[in-house]
Chain A
Amino acid sequence: MAITPVPPVDMSGEGPDDDAVARASGRTAIGAFVRRPAALLALAVLAIIILGAVLAPWLAPHDPNTQSPADQLQGPFWTEGGSTEFLLGTDELGRDLLSRVMFGARPALALAFMAATISAVVGIVAGLVAGMFPRRVGAAVMWVCDVQMAFPFVVLALVVLTIRGSSFGSLLFVLAAFGWVQFARVVRAEVMRVKQMDYVLAARSAGGTTFSVVVRHVLPNVITPVLVVWTFNLASVLLLESALSFLGLGIQPPDSDWGQMFATGRAYLLQHFWYALFPGLGITLTVLCVNVLGRTARDVLNPRLR
């Protein structure tokens, strides 16, 4: 009982169907992507943020760690007491905020993207294995997931970072360990659904091995929710990293970092809101753009939603 009319499929098999037309009308993933203005805007903003971080040593107007005690806590250039020398103002030690935001993006973005991606890879593999072999291996994987979910994560991070000392490597390890469980659970649930489908049985009938069936048919059909989880995970990791910085376990001074700047700036929020505002804006914009891109990727990679 279809109430909503679905336009009947053109059964003639003729008409404008060659590849050129297909590409122009957005039948390819890239064609579909460029037809979405929001996605293009998000991509542009994210590109600016990433370029700013990568090219910071050349673009930043000041050395981020040079202190200028005479210029403490200046406002941005358009506020009273601001100057064009420090476009976004200075911090409590008189360091240039613009330069620190640009340099601070480097560890923040690197940690977030790397941790989210490592989580995703580990989680996808664990979820695929758990879904394909649910009895013993799957039960074991899920047991590990449950244990980690039940354990207060910040306590675990404290222990690891205290013992190993806070470094980029140990932070990455802690943040990646935080996210994989979500990926594993989502992927396992999807695998359990997809592997019941007739097309998986058809692939077996076509002579596929377990490995080739997983790679060709299961993985592409479970990847959609992973993209969404990945964007959420990236956002959580950025925030978690700032929380760890707040506890003094993040990137150590004098090196700058968004989370750490945000945590320090919080103390000056009432008088000098911009101190926390700019690193906060960096986190928010990055998370927003990644979310938009993730959602778009989900749509354009699925032939049905293109």
Chain B
Amino acid sequence: MTHPAYAPETTPVDLPGAGPAVPVLQARDLRTVIARGQDRHPAIDGITFDVNPGEIVALVGESGSGKSLTALSVLRLLKGAVQNDGGTVTVGGRDLLGLSAKEMRAVRGSEIGMIFQDPMTALNPFQTIETQVAETLRLHGEWSKAALRERILTLLTEVGIVNPPMRMKQYPYELSGGTQQRVMIAMALANEPKLLIADEPTTGLDATVQAQIMVLIKRLAADHGTGVLIITHDLGLVSGISDRTIVMYAGEVVESGPTAAVLSSCRHPYTRALIEATPRVEGGAERLTAIPGSPPELHPRPTGCRFHPRCALAQDACRTDHPHLQSRAEDAVDEFRCWFPVEDAPLGGLRIVQEDETNTGIDEDAPVLEELAEVARHRTGTALRATDLRRDFKVGRRAVTHAVAGVSLEVPFGETLGIVGESGCGKSTLARLLAGLDQPTSGTIERDESESATSGREARLDFHRYAQFVFQDTFGSLDPRRTVLQSVSEPLQNLTELSTSDRRRTALQYMKLCGLPASMAGRYPHELSGGQRQRVGIARALVVEPAVVVMDEPMSGLDVSVQAQIVNLLQDLREEAGLTAVLVSHDVGVVRHLSDRVAVMYLGRVVEEGPADEVLSDPQHPYTAALVSAVPLHDPEEEAKRVPILLKGDVGDVSSAGTGCAFAARCPVAQDVCTTAEPALVPLGETATRAACHFPGSLTTAIQEIA
């Protein structure tokens, strides 16, 4: 890899002897039931699909749609009450459902390779990489010691691991997440399977690492003719990687076809709703479509079309008659399951889902809305100003990590500052510092003079009245033993002088504002859905009318349709209640959608900062350029033109030298000066953007020349 910065574009596969290729996987009318006592409820309801050699097929849907269960059914990894109930799964000419358990074990790992979501738990922490890859090989064949070692080296090199002889002697904890996932892929490929099944292979990986893994999977499919079945909830990933897409809902296929067709001219309202629910890096969409409610229960399934209770286009026929898969025209390649398919129309131009309090933004009738807006109007100037903020953590006895290494930034009232960066860049630590949940090692955080503090405990309480925090983990951030009302009114109890009845009334009003009806007040966190829990978290943060709300990944971990609810809620709060916020996220699309300004962090430093549109559409710092280019675009045409910049390694792989730019070691356009002098974050020309780079804009220019 002499020029690792620029990915060799993978071309669609043209296998030798092209013609009607024999599919590596043929699923026919596959059925899986969940047995409860005497009842057998179908969870996978007769699905049929092929995966051809060299083809990447994506299976998408909300959680609960049955996509992961489909993969498990194919692999025959069902257990207990979950049982196969007919159909065939043909791999290599044999029906897997007819094999004995022993024969099936031989198939797994040799004919079918598997990649799981979380490489950290899928790898054995007590064995070296070499031992684990060797085990996979030995299970399916005889190997001499030398041949084994040779094969492992080849595999690790093939999946793009830098310095394989060193890596194979290491233990999983010594590798970064991206390298671990590469090891998993190497193990899946060890016996040259015809079929690779990947369940959410890049969820939890950073955008730039996801881009590397995607390119790797595409290349492997092309080079070896491996058929790949990818299960994902991420439509961006689908458009970036797959040739064909299958959309699942309530255990059945609702739409399938070539990815470009499915994404650009989908016919099923559900597919369209999913597409409109995803925020885009390229900007655009005014408002996201949040699908109300949740996928239907296993039993009873809705009559007629299973999507009709959530569909705004449903008519009488949809409520009574179950639609079958059909095509638009005789020879059309795509299929959909809908009586009244959606015509081509600009995204967002149709109202395709029902609206109720679960998928709208804020409740505009809530009396506190006007109050919040009024308070916001009187706040002008700078809400928070951080100056040279640093936070060090001791690691072990001697080593020190500089999680935040000198960050200076401002948050003006009425604006949202987005902070993006990869995991480990210090963005969450910075968020906690800004919200007063952690103390900086050095540096200061100033806030609006008129609301300044005294000292000691009063100062701390004052600060909490001023800045509130919204957590990522919707479960962990709510006390499981306290009801919704207790959680929402807790800040009032500590930070205000209100009486018990006033606290209750105020808390209920803020719950209403955030779309939580009063009937939710007595519920416990486990009785709520993920979206509702995050609404509770937001209501709790707003209830003391703080000047600033700091949010740490408030949407990650939520299903895409639920994520859209929260995005819409925050968008409304920003537009109608004048919310001042700091939004930390790894998702460039979310940040673009919700922020006025954006700060890009790398290894504890802000490397670029400016208006969101400017920074994300014309990035000046090479790291920003790489980050933005790594995110797949939804529009298949735009996606085809996208050139992902592949960085060397991940953040953890490259130790930063004491001097120079922290990004220099991974930077495709670094020059000598970059390793000796650290660039300062300075304004660029007449723009409102600041960047810490010796050669701002050079990478963006270089990409444009290629494209």
Contact = CB atoms under 8 A, between A and B. Distances in A.
B437 A1 contact: no
A40 interface: no
Contacts of A197: 476-477
Interface stretch (A2-10, A69-77, A161-169, A231-239): A2-10
B490 A3 contact: no
Interface string B292-303: 111111100000
B532 interface: yes
B37 to A, nearest CB: 14
Contacts of A201: 437, 469, 471, 477
A99 to B, nearest CB: 46
Contacts of A80: none
Contacts of B78: 3
B437 A207 contact: no
A220 B34 contact: no
Contacts of A209: 457
A13 B357 contact: yes
Interface stretch (A14-22, A104-112, A270-278): A14-22
B43 A5 contact: yes
Q: Is the interface of B mostly helix, strand, loop or mixed?
A: loop
B298 A5 contact: yes
B461 interface: yes
B479 interface: yes
A199 B478 contact: yes
B526 A304 contact: yes
Given A9-B294, A11-B292, A11-B532, A208 B524 contact: no
A220 B79 CA distance: 36
A198 B293 contact: no
B481 A1 contact: no
Interface string B63-89: 110001100100000111110000000
Interface residues of A, number: 36
Nearest to A301: B481
A198 B478 CA distance: 7
Contacts of B506: none
B297 A8 contact: yes
B378 to A, nearest CB: 23
A161 B588 CA distance: 72
Nearest to B515: A13
B481 A208 contact: no
Instruction: Please indicate which of the listed interface residues A1, A17, A201, A208 has the most CB atoms of chain B within 10 Å of its own CB.
Output: A1
Contacts of B540: 202, 206
Task: Report the interface size class on chain B.
Answer: 35 or more
Nearest to B473: A198
B162 interface: no
A298 to B, nearest CB: 13
B468 interface: yes
Interface string B426-470: 000000000111000000000000000000010011001100110
Contacts of B524: 303-304
B199 interface: yes
B90 interface: no
B519 interface: yes
A196 to B, nearest CB: 9
Interface in A173-200: 197-199
B495 interface: yes
A1 B476 contact: no
A7 B298 CA distance: 8
A229 B423 CA distance: 41
Given A207-B491, A212-B494, A303 B464 contact: no
A201 B469 CA distance: 9
The 5 A-B pairs at the shortest CB distance, nearest first, are namely A207-B494, A198-B477, A206-B491, A303-B524, A13-B517
Interface of A: 1-5, 7-9, 11-14, 17-19, 22, 197-199, 201-209, 212, 216-217, 220-221, 302-304
Interface of B: 34, 43, 63-64, 68-69, 72, 78-82, 117, 199, 292-298, 356-358, 435-437, 457, 460-461, 464-465, 468-469, 471-473, 476-482, 490-491, 493-495, 516-517, 519-520, 522, 524, 526-529, 532, 537, 540
29 contacts: A1-B68, A5-B43, A5-B297, A8-B295, A8-B529, A9-B528, A9-B532, A11-B293, A11-B529, A13-B520, A22-B522, A197-B477, A198-B471, A199-B479, A201-B437, A201-B477, A203-B490, A205-B436, A206-B493, A206-B495, A207-B460, A207-B491, A207-B494, A208-B490, A212-B494, A216-B490, A217-B479, A220-B481, A304-B526
Given A4-B82, A11-B532, 10 more contacts: A1-B117, A7-B298, A8-B295, A8-B529, A9-B528, A198-B472, A202-B537, A205-B435, A205-B437, A207-B461
